[in-house]
Amino acid sequence: MIVKDKTSDLYALRHSAAHVMAQAVKRKFPQAKLAIGPPVEDGFYYDIDLPQPLTDADLGGIEAEMRKIIKENYTFEHSTMTKAEATKFFQERGEKFKLELIGGIADDHVSIYTDGDFIDLCEGPHVKSTGAIPAMKLLSIAGAYWRGDEHNPQLQRIYGTAFFSQEELDAFLKKIEEAKARDHRKLGKELGLYAFIEEAGPGMVFYPPAGAMLRHQIEQFVREEHLKRGYQLVMGPPILRADIWKRSGHLDYYKEYMYLIESEGQQYAVKPMNCPGHILIYGLQTRSYRELPLRFFELGNVCRNEKGGVLHGLLRVRGFTQDDAHIFLREEQLVDEIDRVVTFTREMLGAFGFAEFAVEISTRPAKFIGTPADWDRAESALKTALERQRMTYQIHAGEGAFYGPKIDIKIKDALGREWQCSTIQCDFALPERFALTYAGEDGKEHRPIMLHRAILGSLERFVGTLIEHYAGALPLWLSPVQAVVVPITSEQAGYAREVLQRLAAAGLRVEIDESDNTLNKRIRAAELRKVPYIVVAGRREVEAQSVAVRKRVVGDQGAVPLEQFVERAVQEVRDKR
């Protein structure tokens, strides 16, 4: 995310570090052509067209050159050029990307910054001099299309970060290492939770048994909690005629992300959203005001034609499942229902171990359907509900969906990172487009309002978030395998099977390891799988009808009567621990 607050000292520091990095690259690779180099949330980057591909091994040399420039302590000097002067200057240097940027500037003059032998097109701000960059580090290299368009040249993006002290930088680098250890792409593969199969196509997720069991636990819990709160289960087909998507507005506003197919002279679209299906179900019968709020819920599978370059593990895929609900209601019910959804959201996320949130309200975009008056009423309802909840929020102007404003709730994980999760969208427009009605108390037809909401959001993304939050060590209630029974020798195998059966009868997901490996190797194998409990059965355990319990992270807990362990484990599952 590009940082927009240009008034902050950290912005100026990181912007300056980006310039120093570009300067160092130009010194080492004079043929390099510079694109843009903004500060971002955790650092900065610069997109560069280079005559040769860089690797991480090149970062050390660029960083060393940066340190020389910092030591030389060049002053950042601001000046301006006319567009004609700037065009001539950068044309002589073959800086084609700068020329394109200059062409898009409306003013007659452009802003230039100079430090030592380096001159760049830039609005600023910067720190006083290169020597005012006390702590910086280059992090990685990635590919990036110029201006994010896959039809444009692919550039090399060099990421780095900068802080005002070495202590802050060291803490950040430690956090990065922790994040790498928690990477769901690495842990998901090691733990057998999900897979991508190249021949099946990019962005399509497969769940082996362990991952399918995790999904089952999540889905079962989600369904039960919705039913408790008065939601009704519905299901819709995976494709609908294109006319439906035209009517909803998706074909006009979302077409590039949709998969379109032809059959028997008709055009269809694989659903990227569940809302039109729920709208059609609403319209199957005459509705009364007494039915409202009417809450439809579906674990709906959708497909979106995401660009290959943005696919990222489980966080950005092409096929995924949403815990999607659509609530049809009267306007006087609107604030109460949004408030109820926010409470539900906090309770659900809390059950998965998330207690800290960042909240945003996204308002009317430039392209929208409906009337400005309806948008104002919808935005007001969202704000009022959050204020009732005493939740602080930020306004993201112009970032709403094309059919309505929305609340986004981002969860904070164990490392303090934010993950997009829940969304609540208030929609006056689609009920109008589909001519939805209900019979009011006055016997007349009225138009309902519609709330679109997802609590976990994409289940794929949520699973990825869970893996990273818990570093793969999922809570007992979610773990695909909750306990592994390990007999010390073959003489205890019979008793170990009895333990297995007793645990399974109590509803626990349990396996037995009777392999020929040593006891230590079998225990280690279970630990690597991050199984919450390892239950060891030896001669003394057989005699005492007990088990020797090893708990993940905690370690050896000694011998415990079998029934006592069963009761403890079952209670932990009930308590969602």
Which residues are annotated as catalytic? 275, 304, 322, 324, 326, 406, 452
Q: For residue 352, give the 3-state DSSP assignment.
A: coil
Q: Which residues contact 480 (CB under 8 A, 6 or more apart)?
A: 193, 209, 210, 211, 213, 214, 474, 509
Please, what's the b/e burial string for 412-423 (b: 16 or more CB within 10 A of its CB; e: otherwise)?
Answer: ebeeebebbbbb
Q: Which residues pair with 409 in a beta bridge?
A: 359, 422
Q: How far apart are CA 409 and CA 422, in angstroms?
A: 5
Q: Which residues contact 402 (CB under 8 A, 6 or more apart)?
A: 249, 253, 254, 365, 367, 368, 369
Q: Which residues pair with 43 in a beta bridge?
A: 40
How many Cβ atoms are within 10 Å of 402's Cβ, its own excluded? 18
25-to-18, 22, 54, 224 alpha-carbon distances in Å: 11, 5, 11, 57
Helix (H) or strand (E) holding 407: strand 406-412
Q: Which residues pair with 49 in a beta bridge?
A: 33
Residue from 70, 197, 50, 194 nearest 130 by CA: 70
DSSP state of 257: G
Helix (H) or strand (E) holding 381: helix 372-388
**Cβ 269 vs Cβ 259: under 8 Å:** yes
Helices 334-351 and 209-228: crossing angle, nearest 10°? 140
**Cβ 306 vs Cβ 318: under 8 Å:** yes
